[in-house]
Every structure is written in structure tokens, then in C-alpha cells.
Structure 1
């Protein structure tokens, strides 16, 4: 396993870069490669990872947070109740607070690239269970937009 620190992370797009401790070129990292809570990836967070070479350069896989960002403990954010949009989140950690306890991590697995059919099925199920008042036409419109987004980011194959 290699080690480094997150140098940039775009929480909206879900990706960033790790600066390896050995001084080599920055390594691309996607939030789906994180073993645990995706909310903790932020600049300065130390991580451990494996890397593979791609046509675009090195990419981190099996990423695991191994500490807290420098200064997080001094500023009293370590162990503080995390928030998202100013609302406390029970039992979780937040990207906004850029903190981790270094202890037990969520039991969340890695994300698989889905077929377009599976993505549409899961998206429909999520929309129907989350917002049961949506009409069929609204579900189709939202699902089409989400599928376009997934295609652009390589989240689906086919």
C-alpha cells in the first residue's frame, strides 16, 4: 500500500487528487474508491491506497483514510458532531468538517459500474420510494437526465 495526502477534492463531482508521500506525480482518486465514509475526503487528509496505471495517468484504488487533516485536532473539529448544510448528522462524518476519527469505518462497499438497464431500474426504485408523489412522466424525465449524467462520468456501461 502507498501513502499520501489528499491535495484537492471536488465534493460535487466526487473526485480529486492525492499527493504521494514518495513525491511522485499526483494520483487521481474517485470517491467510489474509498473504503469507508466518502464524506471525509478533503485536502490534507492522509490516506493509504493502491494505484493502477491508466491511459490518463495513475489512479488510486482501495483508498483508506488513515488519519485526520493537519490542524483539524487543533481547531477542535476532530470528534465534533458533523453537519451537512448546518444540520447535525448522527453517527456520520462530513466533508464539510473534513474530519475522521481514525476508528471504525462505515461498512460501505465500493461502487460498481452498472449497466444502463440496472442504473435505470435502481434510479426508478429510488425515485418511487423517495418521492411517491412523482408522476410517471416526471420519473422518466429525471431518470433520463440522471442517465445522461452517468454516461458522461462513466458511471454506467453500455
Structure 2
């Protein structure tokens, strides 16, 4: 059954999912998801299998359908250099046909600002997880200064 996360506690590791056709929200523990918990947030849509427990519906598993965190990352990474200056940067760079090589600090600053502008409701932990993943990709491709 498809549902939307209506409450999420990242510290305690659980969420409640509103599912059409059920009166009670489904309890979902992060150990029962098959995707990176950094993508979990209020508004995340999941396909959930559940059972009735002593305290109400309890998820047996959940698959990611869409995530506001993933959407924000895509929006931030999909931004073009001519989208205007980002807070904390010198502004858009002239394009000379070559890729820019940034320092890790420049990448983190620009990415943080773009993520917050695209989805200001991301948690600090989610921003840090996304930044670390993107920084690792950039390092693997040689896009960062050594």
C-alpha cells in the first residue's frame, strides 16, 4: 500500500505513514526500510507492507517511491551556472568550455546553499549526508582540487 510519511523522528529512528484506507497511521522503524535513511523525511512517499500489531498497524517493510530530500538534491545539482549567484560564492563563473575544479570547502558551501534554497526543511543531518555523498562522487571523478 502506498503512503506518505507524516511524522519522522530521525533520532529515535521511526516514522508514521498515512496510508489510504487505514484509520490509523502505520508505524515504520528505519530498520524496516530498503533505502538510505538519509532520504527519509516528512513528505516521503513509500510503498509499505504492514501487519496489525497490538498497538495498531506496523510496517514489515517499505520501498521508496519519492523523497523530498532526493528532489532537493536533484534540484540543487540540476541548477545551471547562470541561475545567479549563490550566497557565500563570488557568483556565477564564466563558462570557458572546461569544467570548474573546486576546493572541497567551495563545493560544500555552494551545495549547502543550493540545498537549503531548494528545500529549506531538510535537517542538518540530511544536508551533511547529501554533501558527503556528492563530495565523494566529485573526488572519485577528480572534480575537486587535491
Normalised by the size of structure 1, how large is the TM-score? Answer: 0.47
Work out the number of aligned pairs and report it.
86
Pair 72,18 (structure 1): closer, same or farther in 2 beyond 3 Å: same
Per the TM alignment, residue 23 of structure 1 is displaced from its structure 2 partner at its CA by 4.8
Structure showing greater radius of gyration is 2
* Structure 1 or 2: more helix by fraction: 2
Q: How big is the alpha-carbon RMSD for the aligned residues of Structure 1 and Structure 2?
A: 2.7
Rounded Cα–Cα distance in structure 2 between residues aligned with 1:91 and 1:34: 22
Q: Which runs of 4+ in 1 moved over 6 A?
A: none
Structure-to-structure mapping, 1:6-25, within 5 angstroms:
6-25=5-24
Is 2:61 the counterpart of 1:62?
Answer: yes
Give the gaps of 5 or more residues in structure 1: 93-158
For structure 2, which runs of at least 5 residues remain unmatched after alignment?
A: 77-110, 112-125, 136-146
Normalised TM-score (structure 2): 0.51
Q: Deviations over 1:58-92 (max 9, x none)?
A: 101210110133x985xxx142466318x821259
Cα distance change on mapping 1:23 and 1:72 into 2, 3 Å: farther
Q: Say if 2:88 is the partner of 1:89.
A: no
Q: What is the CA–CA distance in structure 2 between the aligned matches of 1:21 and 1:64, rounded to whole Å?
A: 16
